[in-house]
Homo-oligomer: A and B are copies of this chain.
Amino acid sequence: MTGCRIYNSGNVTERMDALKKPVTLHDIAREAGVSFNTVSRALNDKPDVSEETKRRVLEVARRLDYRPNRLARGLRQRRTATIGVVVADLANPFFAEVVEGIDRVCTARGYGLVLANTEEDPARELAAVHSLVERQVDGVLLAPTQRDLASLHYLVKRGVPFSLLARFFKDFAAQAVINDDREGARLAVAHLLSRGHRRILFLNGPPYNSSALLRLEGYRLAHAEAGLPVDETLILTTNARMDGGETAVANALRNKLSFTAVFCFSDYVAFGALRALRRAGCRIPADVAVMGYDDVAFAELVNPPLSTVRIAKTRLGATAAQILLARIEGAETKGGETLITLPPELVVREST
């Protein structure tokens, strides 16, 4: 609080201006005895300025603790060194880890992050994108709800570069970093089948979600490869949250659906499924086996440790950030599609 106190001795006005207007280029210019844009050049390390004045300017700037106003700079330069990140649900550790990867590369390269949450609501997604564009972010990283293309259309219309996180569109060319969901699901289901399971409940995500679609293909493929039929009644749609898994399993149980294993859209969903199963007195994996997807940090800690499919989550985020920054800093116009697919990895623990 020392900086707040107003001393009677000395120049009171001097003392107070810590609270008032921040120091600007003009203040430095006056103090250093040069014009205010010489200061600008010195601070930005531009060529046309003598070593001597540059030194003096930097010294004064440091003494006055100058901080550039990024709004002004952004307004002038048309770039803000910030990127917008739109995810579905921060409470889901999957996204938290993806954001960590994003944060790592962005911070390292001097970019700030503006975060927004959609809760899988397309209206919130569009609102978030609008808000980010209004804030003049240099680019957007987005896990789209996929209910519609409104937010993406808006981004291309405004010429804002973006990359998709973990999801992509078949009929809309865009950069995206995804996981090989079809293969991951195939691995998971093949594992379950190899353990002798024949009735595998599939708690999938919503059909407009590209991961859900591909994982369904993987589910079918694994069955086909084993020469086994698929019972369509075992394929359920859930929201991608814990409560989704919980209610889906509770319903399945109540409806006397018969199954010996459940494959979940995500670990997060699987956690809910575990809870419902446990509550119903099922032993895992003796009565029913459970598989998740993502390999979130907590997957190995739950009871029993969850078998799952690992996605390199921080790498996914980091990669998406890298290709986005490359596009931002390279040729602005180089739109085009780049689909980077990360390999999934089967992780067998004790729930299967």
Contact = CB atoms under 8 A, between A and B. Distances in A.
Interface of A: 1-4, 18-20, 22, 65, 67-72, 74-75, 80, 82, 90-91, 93, 96-97, 99-100, 103, 107, 112-117, 130-131, 133-136, 153, 156-159, 172-173, 242, 271, 274-275, 297-298, 300-305, 335
A207 to B, nearest CB: 23
Contacts of A69: 75, 134, 136
A105 to B, nearest CB: 13
A100 B119 CA distance: 11
Contact of A112 (B65, B135, B157, B172): B135
B117 A114 contact: no
A153 B18 CA distance: 11
A99 B99 CA distance: 13
Contacts of A4: 156, 335
A212 to B, nearest CB: 23
A91 B70 CA distance: 29
A146 to B, nearest CB: 16
B112 A112 contact: no
A80 B70 CA distance: 12
Nearest to A272: B301
Contacts of A70: 134-136
**Majority DSSP secondary structure for residues of A touching B:** mixed
A91 B135 CA distance: 27
Contacts of A305: 303
Q: How many copies does the complex hold?
A: 2
Contacts of A71: 71-72, 74-75, 80, 135-136
A159 B1 CA distance: 11
A41 to B, nearest CB: 19
Contacts of A116: 107, 112-113
Given A91-B96, A297-B91, A301-B271, A67 B130 contact: yes
A302 B298 contact: yes
Q: Which 7 pairs show the lowest CB-CB distances between chains A and B? A: A303-B303, A3-B157, A115-B115, A71-B75, A301-B302, A70-B134, A71-B71
Given A75-B75, A82-B135, A114-B115, 15 more contacts: A2-B153, A18-B157, A19-B157, A65-B157, A68-B134, A69-B136, A91-B93, A91-B96, A93-B93, A112-B131, A113-B115, A113-B116, A301-B301, A302-B302, A303-B305
A303 to B, nearest CB: 3
B302 A304 contact: no
Nearest to A302: B301
A240 to B, nearest CB: 15
B99 A242 contact: no
Nearest to A111: B131
Contacts of A303: 301-305
Contacts of A304: 303
Contacts of A159: 18-20
Contact of A173 (B1, B19, B22, B68): B1
